[in-house]
């Protein structure tokens, strides 16, 4: 982690927790986080859509410095798109970060690079920050295809953005084989891909964008491996799935990343 970039630890709750359970979890997260140890870290939580309003109310009523995040958004501001949620609706709930192009959306719901690019642009247009996910499958990794896959997703997702936008956004490198499997990339492997991402951003969008874009690692991040990951110079935080549902463990991940 570079000292110039504030780490961002994001809890992706996926399709878990009713709005009542979400209230309980966010309260427990805020009690568990030691404010003295996390003043150098940005934290976001990404509840399902049905819990956003409840979590927003708790965060604002108790003045908790955790940013509200969403897990997805459509690219249009409104219209005949049954079942979709627009960036405008999220911005109205004071959502700050929106995960875009998570591998589960790409693999299970057919999201293409083009859709991801449109979503990234729409999230910016609504005044929020995208967390754009990229990552390779196990087959791609074993065939030596990590770099072309990740850089292809990166270039497609960032096409059309200006350098200021690129520099202000977040890219989450999430090797698909490490998500929910208990298998984490080694810190060295994760660092190598995150450095490649940063170098590609610098060469395509300028060194200022490359120096300020935040690159998270995601995939089975836990209290036991966060330290080694955060010690890497090009890893600026983590996108945490399963472990973010445990408020005590999530608080420990946040504390460790800031120490």
Rounded to the nearest whole angstrom, what is the least distance from the CB of residue 135 to ligand PGA in the complex? 9
User: Residue 24 catalytic?
Assistant: no
Phi, psi of 12 (to 5 degrees): -95, 105
Closest to 69 (Cα-Cα) out of 155, 132, 2? 132
Q: Is 146 in the site for ligand PGA (CB under 6 A)?
A: no
CB of 214 to ligand PGA, least distance (A): 15
By the rule CB under 6 A, 153 interacts with ligand PGA: no
Of all residues in the shown chain, the one whose CB is closest to ligand PGA is 241
Q: What x-and-dash track marks residues 220-259 binding ligand PGA by CB under 6 A?
A: xx-----------------xxxxx----------------
Binding window for ligand PGA (CB under 6 A); candidates: 22-30, 81-89, 109-117, 173-181: 173-181
d(CA 122, CA 113): 14
Measured CA to CA, the distance from residue 72 to residue 116 in angstroms comes to 10
Q: Does 157 bind ligand PGA (CB under 6 A)?
A: no
Q: Is 171 in the site for ligand PGA (CB under 6 A)?
A: no
Return d(Cα 8, Cα 234) in angstroms, integer: 13
Provide the sign of the torsion angle of the four alpha carbons 228, 233, 236, 239, taken in this order: negative
Q: Which is nearer to ligand PGA, 181 or 208 (CB)?
A: 181
User: Of 104, 174, 249, 252, which one is the catalytic site residue?
Assistant: 174
The rounded distance, in Å, linking the Cα atoms of 232 and 229 is 6
- State the first-to-last Cα distance of the chain, in angstroms, to the nearest integer: 11
Would residue 164 show up in a list of annotated catalytic residues for this protein? no
What does the alpha-carbon distance between residue 114 and residue 30 come to, in Å, rounded to a whole number? 37
Residues at the interface with ligand PGA (CB under 6 A):
12, 174, 179-180, 218-221, 239-243
Q: Which residues are catalytic?
A: 102, 174
């Amino acid at each position: 982690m570079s000292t110039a970039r504030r780490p961002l630890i994001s809890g992706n709750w996926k399709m878990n927790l009713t709005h009542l359970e979400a209230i309980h979890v966010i309260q427990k997260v805020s009690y568990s986080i030691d404010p003295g140890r996390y003043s150098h870290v940005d934290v976001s939580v990404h509840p399902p859509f049905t819990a956003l309003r409840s979590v927003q109310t708790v965060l604002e009523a108790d003045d908790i410095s955790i940013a509200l995040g969403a897990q997805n958004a459509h690219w249009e501001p409104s219209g005949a798109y049954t079942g979709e949620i627009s960036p405008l609706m999220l911005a109205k709930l004071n959502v700050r970060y929106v995960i875009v192009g998570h591998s589960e959306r790409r693999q299970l719901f057919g999201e293409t690079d083009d859709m991801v690019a449109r979503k990234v642009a729409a999230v910016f247009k609504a005044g929020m920050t995208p967390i754009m996910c990229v990552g390779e499958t196990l087959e791609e990794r074993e065939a030596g295809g990590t770099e072309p896959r990740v850089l292809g997703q990166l270039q497609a997702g960032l096409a059309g953005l200006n350098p200021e936008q690129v520099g202000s956004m977040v890219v989450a490198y999430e090797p698909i084989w490490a998500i929910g499997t208990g298998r984490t990339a080694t810190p060295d492997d994760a660092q190598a891909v995150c450095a490649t991402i940063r170098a590609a951003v610098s060469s395509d969008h300028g060194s200022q964008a490359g120096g300020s874009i935040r690159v998270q690692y995601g995939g089975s991040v836990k209290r036991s491996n966060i330290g080694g990951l955060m010690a890497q110079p090009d890893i600026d935080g983590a996108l945490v799935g399963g472990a973010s549902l445990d408020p005590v463990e999530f608080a420990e991940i946040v504390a460790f990343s800031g120490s």
